[in-house]
């Protein structure tokens, strides 16, 4: 697969161009510098070519993030077939632009100079000065108005090698790491990938946008999504939007790692657990910094977890430490196991054999001598496994009995750790004029 990186000073429109090229709004965009810090990857398709496009943070920003952003940008340029050097030429070239150009020359990658924010032909005279950078003819574009993108891609294609063979279309497992700020999501991502892909700092809110990282473990492809920390009350508008992006990342994921701090549990963990619960995705509770809990407090910490996360008690737990790599492989192994279960389908005949057994194990709800009758059960969907149970009266189904059926499905059908959805369908003389009810978990 080809790789193309986008670089440039802060606030020249790199993320806007990134979003425009991949065809959706994946990178956070704002009218002030410093929004993008990590290097963000997405796959774009152009004339049957699959290209990994990388958006990087603003170079030579002059703030406390300058060195680490440059380090991530250098990583992004490793193996890149071409580099898109984005500039805003309307105010002329700055000293920082020349420094970025010198840095790119030292790295030795093919560079295409892009003059962004050229909204009409009358702005094209601004391009003349860009020849001085020494990378040949600049390309005039407007990322905001989708102007000049075909010319840009034609220039990029000149630097891409011929495709070699077919690219596997097997979809990877997408896993989102969610948690409140500073619980160690980015550190865990780096520990898993054995790299420094995500910026790690003691400052809450360091991660400003979701960061997708492709990874291979035991022959299984993953896309690991490091999301912005979710606070109770965002401090800024950009942080609020980053949280919305995190929630969107959860919706696109196959599984969720709910990352908690072992020595600092609060009410906010309950909100995050609800967010994971409502997504309908398999959840693995990752208790990070477990090495910091004294031995004499381990049982107390586990009991506190049981109390705060009782409504997702079905979710497996992994105890980890990003510092010493403790539990890292367990996170991936548990994810692979849950993903297979999430996609599984149970034969109808087996379901109905178990349905008879479950009714004998636990008395069905009875209202005034009229009991709930369950006639038939079948699986109607996977991911998550969803089952329809045909009965005489859907309104006779109590919450406790529904919980019993869900637990029996997990325990007896080898679906431990998986969210299970039930749909109650009425059948028989009471069906007329009544609506089926659905219960989600």
Q: Find, among 307, 308, 238, the residue nearest to 274 by Cα.
A: 308
Instruction: Let me know: does 18 contact 6? Beta carbons within 8 Å.
Output: yes
Judge whether 287 is annotated as a binding position: no
Judge whether 136 is annotated as a binding position: no
Handedness of CA 15, 17, 22, 25 (dihedral sign): positive
Cα 337 to its chain centre, rounded Å, is: 19
Other CB atoms within 10 A of residue 433 CB: 6
| Long-range contacts (CB closer than 8 Å, 24 or more residues apart) made by 102-107 | 103/59, 103/70, 104/7, 104/135, 105/134, 107/74, 107/77
Q: Where are the alpha helices (DSSP H) in 23-87?
A: 66-77
Judge whether 428 is annotated as a binding position: no
Judge whether 12 is annotated as a binding position: yes
Judge whether 151 is annotated as a binding position: no
Judge whether 91 is annotated as a binding position: no
Judge whether 226 is annotated as a binding position: yes
Judge whether 197 is annotated as a binding position: no
Judge whether 369 is annotated as a binding position: no
Length of the chain: 441
Judge whether 56 is annotated as a binding position: yes
Judge whether 10 is annotated as a binding position: yes
Judge whether 165 is annotated as a binding position: no
Judge whether 118 is annotated as a binding position: yes
Q: Find, among 262, 276, 268, the residue nearest to 322 by Cα.
A: 262
Judge whether 300 is annotated as a binding position: no
Judge whether 436 is annotated as a binding position: no
Judge whether 148 is annotated as a binding position: no
Judge whether 274 is annotated as a binding position: no
Judge whether 28 is annotated as a binding position: no
Cα 344 to its chain centre, rounded Å, is: 23
Cα 393 to its chain centre, rounded Å, is: 40
Judge whether 22 is annotated as a binding position: no
Judge whether 59 is annotated as a binding position: yes
Judge whether 116 is annotated as a binding position: yes
Judge whether 385 is annotated as a binding position: no
Tokens of 64: 């406390």
Judge whether 113 is annotated as a binding position: no
Judge whether 190 is annotated as a binding position: no
Judge whether 142 is annotated as a binding position: no
Judge whether 341 is annotated as a binding position: no
Burial degree of 262 (CB within 10 A; 0-12, 13-18, 19+): buried
Judge whether 121 is annotated as a binding position: no
Judge whether 8 is annotated as a binding position: yes
Q: Which residues are annotated as a binding site?
A: 8-15, 55-59, 116-119, 179-186, 226-230, 288-291
Residues of the binding site for GTP: 8-15, 55-59, 116-119, 179-186, 226-230, 288-291
């Amino acid at each position: 697969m080809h790789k193309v990186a986008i670089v440039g000073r802060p606030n020249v429109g790199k993320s806007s161009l990134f979003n425009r090229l991949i065809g959706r709004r994946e990178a956070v965009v704002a009218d002030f510098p410093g929004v993008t810090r990590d290097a963000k990857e997405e796959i774009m398709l152009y004339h049957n070519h699959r290209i990994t496009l990388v958006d990087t943070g603003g170079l030579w920003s002059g703030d406390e993030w300058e060195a680490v952003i440059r380090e991530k940008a250098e990583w992004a340029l490793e193996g890149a077939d071409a580099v898109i050097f984005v500039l805003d030429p309307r105010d002329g070239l700055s000293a920082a632009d020349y420094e970025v150009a010198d840095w790119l020359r030292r790295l030795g990658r093919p560079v295409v100079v892009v003059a962004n924010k050229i909204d009409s032909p009358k702005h094209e005279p601004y391009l003349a000065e860009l020849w001085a950078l020494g990378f040949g003819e600049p390309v005039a574009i407007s990322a905001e108005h989708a102007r000049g993108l075909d010319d840009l891609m034609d220039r990029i294609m000149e630097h891409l090698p011929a495709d070699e063979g077919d690219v596997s279309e097997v979809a990877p497992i997408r896993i989102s790491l969610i948690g409140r700020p500073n619980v160690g999501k980015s550190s865990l991502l780096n520990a898993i990938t054995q790299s420094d892909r995500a910026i790690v700092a003691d400052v809450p809110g360091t991660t400003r946008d979701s960061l997708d990282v492709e990874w291979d473990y035991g022959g299984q492809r993953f896309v690991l999504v490091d999301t912005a920390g979710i606070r109770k009350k965002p401090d800024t508008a950009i942080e609020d939007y980053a949280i919305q992006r995190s929630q969107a990342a959860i919706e696109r994921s196959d599984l969720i790692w709910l990352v908690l701090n072992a020595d600092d549990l609060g009410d906010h963990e309950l909100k995050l657990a609800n967010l994971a619960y409502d997504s309908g995705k398999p959840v693995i509770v990752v208790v990070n910094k477990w090495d910091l809990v004294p031995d004499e407090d381990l049982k107390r910490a586990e009991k506190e977890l049981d109390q705060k996360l009782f409504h997702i008690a079905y979710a497996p737990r992994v105890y980890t430490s990003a510092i010493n790599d403790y539990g890292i492989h367990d996170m991936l192994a548990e994810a692979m196991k849950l993903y297979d279960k999430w996609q599984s389908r149970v034969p109808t005949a087996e379901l109905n054999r178990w349905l008879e057994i479950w009714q004998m194990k636990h008395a069905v709800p009875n209202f005034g001598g009229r009991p709930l009758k369950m006639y038939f059960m079948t699986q109607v969907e996977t991911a998550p496994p969803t089952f329809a149970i045909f009965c005489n009266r859907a309104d006779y189904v109590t919450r406790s009995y529904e919980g019993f059926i869900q637990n029996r499905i997990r325990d007896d059908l080898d679906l431990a750790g998986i969210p299970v959805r039930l749909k109650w369908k009425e059948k028989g003389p009471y069906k007329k004029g009544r609506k089926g009810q659905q219960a989600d978990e």
